[in-house]
Amino acid sequence: MEPDSDAREGRQAQGDAAGEGALRVRRPVEEPDGEGPSFGELLRTGAATLRGLMRDRVFLASLAVVAVALVVRAYVLTQSHFVEDDYLFFAAADAEELSPDHLFDLHKGHLMPGALFLVYFQTAFWPYQWWLSAGVMFVVQAAAYLAFLRLLWELFGRRWALLVPLTVFVLAPLTVPVLAWWSAALNAVPFQLALALALLWTVRHLRTGEPRTAWLAVGAIVFGMLFTVKAMFLPVLVFAVAVTYLYPGGLLVSVRRAWELHRPYWATMAGLFAAYAVLYVGRMASAENTDGAGVPESDSAWAIARGLVTEVFPVGALGGPLEWGPVTPTGGLVDPRGWVVLASWAVLALIVLVSVRMRRRAWRAWVLLVGYVVVVDVLPTVIARARFQDVVAADPRYVADAAMVFALCLALAFLPTREERARAYVGAAGEGRADLQPYRVRIRRPARATAAAVTVVFAAAAVMSTHTYARTLSGDQLGAYLDSVRASMGDVPDEGGLYSSPVPDDVVLEWNQAERLSSWVLSPLADAETAERMRVPEEADTGYVFDGDGDLVPAGPGSNATVFVPEEGENCLETWDGVMSWPVEAHGGPSQVVTIGYEAEEETEAALFLGDDLLEIDLPEAEEDGVWFVPSGAPGQQLALHTEEDAVCVNWVSVGTMGPAEDGEPWVPADDERSDPTDDGDADEDDA
């Protein structure tokens, strides 16, 4: 990060006074054929560079800003924990083999093989270990911050003004929710790193022509494509930044020069875009689920576009929203008060107007920003989500990546790049053309002081917004739930059925249906034998389920189960030659269990009919309060039980999902230590 002075950049600029010559502001480094710096020379050079940076006040101040941001982010991560899709990722990785089909499978429209590989790796060794998941994302986030700092330094050179866009990005509340939710962070945080590196190495390649930097830029884009579909637009973004600020002349002239001077590089970028588009469309066509792209509903599409563009992005990018709400299991959303929205737009409009008044090419930065937000963030979100939910309109995760682009465009709107300063230097030495000067008016000390004061206010508002967001998280409760599950997994009875029940809504939402069952999301914490018992439950005289606190407790018919009992005054259900039949609305599925309460003086045979299921069962001897759990996943509208009429007295029959049994119910074993006499049945609310 050694700085180059303006004069040095001017002397190294190549071209005529109008800036119509070659692009580079420094010459490519050429080594004699077959020679290069030795390893010792590289070490000495690196050490000297590091010593210089450690004495550079701009660099140290930048590191201080990054350090503050990382401390704030670390605090947020301590308040968060696994929730919602995090469980689905672990469960899928635990149930499937590592293969291309698994890695390139679409998850709710996301193509993310790199993220799924990280999930698979952690599932194999440390499932549901928050310290590891959060730690990896924290390190990647820190790398993204440093990469963005290096990008600013590369584009604009050493200057105190870099602290403004750096602060705007690293402290932006817009990026906090996406870091706190692991599933979202797996997409967004590596993408931030890829975005910064792709731009950094593109700038270096265009300035030096080194093939190595071109390959590094391509590698950064491919890295981003491994984690999110949005990386498909990185070739477009780096091209847009280059033609707007790195090539001389108007936009059309810049496009022509880019193609003439760096045709292989931009052709490669176009190839990356096309190849990924073909791959994604192919995976969409072969996907079994329909959670991805589709025809959006017009009302939802408009609500999402309006919410993200007019409220979420400007408020979150400028330090808001101060207060978060409504609060979901994954944290608070952005539904700001009217005055917050108006204040954000007023500040944004003032920034744009001042930049356009001061700097000749400032308008290009804002067009670039609008194009990015609309094309990369809003349109894909509308296509993928406008068929399902309007709440997306208040979710900052869908525009979190725009925080870095906003900070970059803010810098481009006020600061000239090294190319612009070099052309201005050459022009002043030649014809003295005023149109080559980057500024229309000279920036004076009051303007710098105002910028510093506004940045401090932004930082204070951003830290406050981050703190209030952390208060909307429930990491302590979510962590306690998993701790209870781990403890229960270490004390699973050797006998008895382990039946599925829905986990609480604040762990996995109800609309995930079968994917929120305990047999799916909690099995990664079990040993192989226990996991198999959970996924393929057996018939048994004792059943167990996980309650809302994560404890393994005796099972009984859940709140959505249908229970049939004898008429008043009778002890046994009425039979017709041993046949009993009832109309039911059984929806089937892995959590459906038929439970039989009975009395039998000796073991007897019975037959159970439900939908397409015909199950032959053996009822053990039970003088009183006998219970037999029979998993049956078939849907049906008629339930029938055939027994030996004089050998069995059937006291009750139920069909449906199991839930925690209440104390004193006949299916609770009297000697089971898991029965809690103080339980008032509140945990049963989580069975719905």
Instruction: Write the pLDDT tens digit of every residue in 241-282.
Output: 999 999 988 889 999 999 999 999 999 999 999 999 999 988
The confidence band for 675, taking pLDDT boundaries of 50, 70 and 90, is very low
Closest of 593, 523, 590, 533 to residue 558, by C-alpha: 593
Burial group, residue 675, by CB count within 10 angstroms (0-12, 13-18, 19+): middle
Superfamily of domain 493-688 in CATH is: Galactose-binding domain-like (2.60.120.260)
Work out the pLDDT band at 670, boundaries 50, 70, 90: very low
The number of beta carbons lying within 10 Å of the beta carbon of residue 343 is 17
Cα–Cα distance, 148 to 462 (Å, whole number) = 19
Per the DSSP assignment, residues forming a β-bridge with 107 are 110
Give the per-residue pLDDT at 7: 39
What's the whole-model pTM score? 0.87
Domain parsing of the chain, residue ranges = 6-14+21-27+39-470, 493-688
Q: Indicate the helix (H) or strand (E) that contains 177.
A: helix 176-180
Residue 505 structure tokens: 């809504």
- Cα gap 174→321, rounded to integer Å: 9
pLDDT for 614-654, tens place per residue? 999 999 998 888 899 999 989 999 999 999 878 899 999 99
> H-type helices in 157-181, by residue range?
163-170, 176-180
Supply the pLDDT for residue 681.
40
Q: What is the dihedral of CA 266, 268, 270, 271, to 10 degrees?
A: 170
